[in-house]
Structure 1
Amino acid sequence: MLARTVGVVCAASLLTLALMGCQGSSDPPDDGANPSSPRPLRSPSGYGAVFLAVDECSSRGRTSFNEVPCSSERAVAKVVARYEGLPSNGPACPGTTDFVLHISENRPSSDENGDGAVAQGYACMRNLEAPHPGDAGGGGGPRTIVGDCVYSAGQGQVRETECDGSGERAPQYRVTKAVGTRSACPPSTSLYVTLGGAEPVGCAVRI
């Protein structure tokens, strides 16, 4: 029987605009509490006002993602949260995020009205159609949530895999509960998994 150890889950989705497959979780800071903290980016006037703002959509190419109207046949994913700054210092994406785009800063040398400037940040994306790897049991996404399954990857680490067994690796444990401390897990817990956020400990049972 495996010892109860904290596993570090990394859902590695190899997608680009410097896509991040792993993301730490933290609670959003209070507005104004820290001038350097990332802030949500929203588009006040709809498509195009802010690059990949909340509720805007993107297409997917071989090496890049482009903003397109959500009504476009090229649209494949929607922004569910958008923050400025580095993800390591910012709020975590929603639990059912399918993938995360890391957006590099772009400030053209010649820009008359400033519309071409894009601040560094990250967009939490949700596919418009299935599959949704960020859903519970989906085997991916930037966060591990209750209902996800994992397998032992060695050296005290675990990785997500599909709960239905359709992935490359068979599931060994399922996260059944998120709690604040290990002591709050039920006696049936076989493995502790790091989730982050307000309830950072995942209680997982062998399946």
Structure 2
Amino acid sequence: MSARVGPTARTALVAVAAVTVLAALLTGCRGPAGAPAGDARSAPGRAAGHGAPFLAVGACSSFGTVSSTEVPCAGERAAARVVARHDGAVTGGPPCPPTTDFVLRISAQRPAHDPGDEDGEDGEDGDGAIPQGYACMRNLEPPHPGDPGAGGGPRTIPGDCLYDSGRGQVRETACDGSGRRAPRYRITEATTSRRACPASTVLYVQLAGDRPVGCARRAR
């Protein structure tokens, strides 16, 4: 996550970013802007036709080094819960809730046609197909990198901290100093325009949602 610094005010164009699966989730590192945390695939032999879409809101997933699968929330493999689910690509799609910990990209899947099943009731799209989409995930237990100031997650929100990464750019880091870089700025609030930011603002951060301007001041 990077930003440019303007000539009259430090202007951060901070884009959506995401942690990578497992390792980055635990360390608070972040991936390229707009990158999903990983892939989610339906488990082999997953029963279809039970009415619930794959990774619907409230469902749970496991963690995997390559891909995650849907698992029962009460099971020992459950690691995170779906807090929002959208069809389509992550880029340009609706933003995840502010405290989302990571994002799972759901690849489109279409099973082989079964001539013996013609009732149209055997899958997420009525034919067993799973459309392309993404799921916004929240860990069942800490850590929660998407929390304000935690230094991770796919959203930049009020309470998050930033540091200068060089060449007029900034990146997010943990506000408590536990990250690899010490915080230099902290986003205090989100507004609809720069004019609405308080006088103490030294950095403007581009956010997702209906309040796209983050007002940041020097971290203390």
TM-score range, shorter chain: 0.7 to 0.9
Deviates further, 59-68 or 126-135: 59-68
Report the alpha carbon displacement of residue 6 of structure 1 after superposing the two structures with TM.
2.6
1: CA distance, partners of 2:82 / 2:60: 6
Q: 2:148 aligns with which of 125, 133, 136?
A: 136
Residue 117 of structure 1: how far off its partner (Å): 1.5
| 1:152-203 deviations in Å (ceiling 9; x for gaps) | 2234432211110111111110000111111111110111111121110000
- Secondary structure of 1:183's counterpart equals helix
Segments of 5+ residues of structure 2 without an aligned counterpart are 23-30, 36-49
Question: Paired residue for 1:196?
Answer: 208
Equivalent position amino acid for 2:57 in 1: V
1:7 to 13, 17, 25: 13
Root-mean-square deviation (CA, aligned residues, Å) is 2.5
Higher alpha-carbon Rg = 2
After TM superposition, list the pairs within 5 Å mapping 1:168-183 onto structure 2.
168-183=180-195
- Counterpart check, 1:146 vs 2:153: no
Q: TM-score, normalised by structure 1?
A: 0.80
| Structure 1 residues 21 and 76: alpha-carbon distance in aligned structure 2, compared to 1, 3 A threshold | farther
Report % sequence identity.
60
Q: How many residues align?
A: 183
2:97 aligns to what?
Answer: 94
Question: Which of 69, 72, 75 is matched with 2:78 structurally?
Answer: 75
**Change over 3 Å in CA distance of 1:158–1:140 after alignment to 2:** same
Runs of 4+ displaced beyond 3 Å? 9-12, 20-24, 111-114, 154-157
Q: TM-score, normalised by structure 2?
A: 0.76
Opposite residue 14 of structure 1, the aligned amino acid is T
Q: Deviations over 1:77-131 (max 9, x none)?
A: 0000001111223211000000001111000122435423211000000000000
Q: Which of the residues 179, 190, 198 maps onto 1:186?
A: 198
Q: What is the alpha-carbon distance in structure 2 between the residues aligned to residue 60 and residue 12 of structure 1?
A: 15
